[in-house]
């Protein structure tokens, strides 16, 4: 069951496109987003009909823009889970040249992707990245956590205002920068060559047996104002 502005709304499930692309731009206001690898290109929407985003594909670029209509009240049934989300699937062998995401309210998940340049900005929502290969990654969130697992980067910057950065089982070949104003930075089972850190109102704990990078030379920068840094 989905309730918007006090009215019960029936959801729809619709395939918006199956055309190929190698650049992806998405702008959403109040939807969760999932971008995953699969067998073929597909953009699929789940949710109320009047929240279906507009999709344009041309010059190898897919542009997806959600409606701007604001809703005062939106309720999702706890029995059925999220009922308002967009799912983008790209072929497993595909390497995306560019992915740019701008979300107002909603979580984003990237899984099994190969991306040259990733930029994601959100006002409220969590970012989940797993099993990806990304050259340059830039993540900015006002309120939300960033969780990255089993992913390789050449360069990574995650900058949060309120939220936690959690990096585990990753490979950062050049530079990894984690910033949060109110929250914790955690790096686990991720090789590091050089380390810089700052915790103004908190502590930094560096495990004696954290993994040192052997086949590449990188630097990690961890900064928090109200929170802790943990490296292990």
pLDDT for the residue 84: 85
Residues 6+ apart with CB under 8 A from 208: none
So where are the chain's domains?
1-111, 126-232
Assigned architecture for domain 1-111? 3 Solenoid (2.160)
Pairing of strands 54-58, 61-65: antiparallel
Dihedral pair phi/psi, residue 49, rounded to 5°: -60, -40
Residue length of the chain: 232
Question: Tokens 């390789």 label which residue?
Answer: 152
The pTM of the full predicted model, rounded to 2 decimals, is 0.91
Report the alpha-carbon distance of residue 92 to residue 38 in Å, rounded: 5
Dihedral pair phi/psi, residue 119, rounded to 5°: -135, 120
Q: What are the beta bridge partners of residue 168?
A: 149, 188
Neighbours of 18 (CB within 10 A): 12
pLDDT in single tens digits along all 232 residues of the chain: 555 555 666 789 999 999 999 999 999 998 999 999 999 999 999 988 888 999 999 999 999 999 876 554 454 433 334 568 999 999 999 999 999 999 999 999 999 999 999 999 999 999 999 999 999 999 999 999 999 999 999 999 999 999 999 999 999 999 999 999 999 999 999 999 999 999 999 999 999 888 898 889 999 999 999 999 999 9
């Amino acid at each position: 069951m989905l309730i918007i502005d006090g009215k019960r709304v029936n959801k729809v499930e619709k395939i918006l496109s199956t055309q190929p692309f190698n650049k992806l731009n998405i702008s959403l206001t109040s939807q969760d987003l999932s971008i995953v690898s699969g067998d073929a290109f597909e953009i699929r929407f789940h949710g109320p009909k009047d929240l279906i985003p507009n999709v344009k594909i041309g010059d190898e670029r897919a542009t997806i823009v959600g409606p701007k209509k604001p809703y005062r009240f939106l309720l999702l049934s706890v029995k059925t889970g999220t009922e308002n989300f967009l799912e983008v699937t790209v072929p497993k062998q595909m390497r995306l040249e560019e992915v740019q995401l701008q979300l107002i309210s909603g979580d984003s998940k990237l899984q099994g992707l190969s991306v040259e340049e990733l930029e994601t900005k959100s006002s409220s929502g969590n970012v989940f990245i797993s099993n990806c290969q990304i050259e340059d990654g830039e993540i900015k969130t006002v309120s939300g956590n960033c969780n990255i697992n089993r992913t390789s980067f050449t360069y990574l910057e995650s900058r949060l205002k309120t939220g936690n950065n959690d990096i585990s089982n990753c490979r950062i070949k050049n530079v990894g920068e984690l910033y949060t104003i109110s929250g914790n930075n955690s790096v686990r089972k991720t090789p590091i060559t050089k380390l810089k850190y700052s915790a103004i109102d908190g502590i930094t704990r560096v495990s004696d047996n954290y993994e040192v990078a052997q086949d590449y030379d990188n630097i990690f920068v961890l900064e928090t104002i109200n929170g802790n840094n943990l490296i292990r």
